[in-house]
């Protein structure tokens, strides 16, 4: 049976995947309708990505899970080095996406495509990253880590409170959670349903 940390990592991956795909769905629907999306909703979604997956989830993988794996088996080192480089570039990448959104909002429609390309690159990057972790790292962890290792990991990952991974929002993030849920469509929110175009269907099926 999978350990608590493994389950939490998979749940948080699912939450991030759903959030990124919802952004692509939202953008595709507005492009087809020749309308402008709610920039504040997009900012809120990107802020969530920065605060939860980037600042908490990835940091605890790099600072706790990966060192424990390195200590237990040399087989994982090249793979973990690659994933650590991904984590190190993640914060820079999300800043570039946020900046591209600001440019579009401040300078107008001529910059829509730059933002769409930036968020598409970021989404592809992290979907590949998370798939690699689930395919290689989590099964390896289940094989080689000790129960003492898992107790340490479960204490840290179990304290995560990602509201889109099934947890009650922390008080300071409750307004953010509500803002996103009310503004965007499924699979994340309760906003008006949008009929996906080809690009969005491909994103949701990836």
Query: Whole-angstrom Cα distance, residue 49 to residue 136?
Result: 23
User: Which pLDDT belongs to residue 100?
Assistant: 98
Report the pLDDT averaged over residues 83-91: 91
The full set of domains in the chain, from first to last, is: 4-205 (1.20.120.520)
Long-range contacts of 126-134 (CB under 8 A, 24+ apart): 126/16, 126/20, 126/53, 126/90, 127/17, 127/20, 127/206, 129/83, 129/86, 130/13, 130/16, 130/17, 132/79, 132/82, 132/83, 133/9, 133/13, 133/61, 133/83, 134/9, 134/10, 134/13
pTM of the predicted model, to two decimals? 0.84
* Confidence at 193, pLDDT banded by 50, 70, 90: low
| pLDDT for 142 beyond 70 | yes
Both structure tokens of 125: 């990057």
**Two tokens at 75?**
């087989």
In this prediction, residue 176 has a pLDDT band, given cuts at 50, 70 and 90, of confident
Torsion angles phi and psi, residue 95, rounded to 5 = -65, -40
What average pLDDT does the segment 34-47 reach? Answer: 92
- Does the bond joining 187 to the residue before it have cis omega, within 30 degrees of 0? yes
């Amino acid at each position: 049976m999978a350990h608590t940390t493994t389950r939490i990592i998979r749940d948080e991956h699912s939450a991030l995947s759903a959030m990124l795909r919802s952004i692509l769905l939202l953008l595709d629907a507005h492009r087809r309708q020749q309308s402008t999306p709610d920039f504040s909703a997009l900012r809120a979604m990107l802020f969530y990505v920065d605060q939860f997956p980037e600042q908490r989830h990835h940091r605890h993988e790099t600072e706790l899970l990966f060192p424990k794996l390195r200590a237990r088996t040399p087989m994982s080192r090249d793979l973990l080095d690659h994933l650590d480089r991904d984590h190190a570039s993640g914060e820079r990448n999300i800043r570039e996406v946020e900046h591209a959104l600001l440019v579009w909002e401040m300078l107008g429609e001529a910059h829509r495509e730059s933002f769409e390309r930036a968020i598409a690159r970021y989404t592809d990057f992290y979907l590949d990253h998370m798939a690699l972790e689930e395919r290689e790292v989590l099964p390896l962890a289940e094989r080689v880590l000790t129960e003492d290792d898992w107790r340490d990991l479960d204490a840290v990952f179990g304290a995560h409170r990602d509201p889109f991974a099934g947890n009650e929002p922390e008080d300071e993030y409750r307004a953010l959670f509500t803002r996103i849920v009310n503004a965007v469509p499924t699979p994340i929110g309760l906003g008006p349903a949008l009929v996906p175009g080809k690009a969005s269907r491909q994103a949701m099926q990836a």
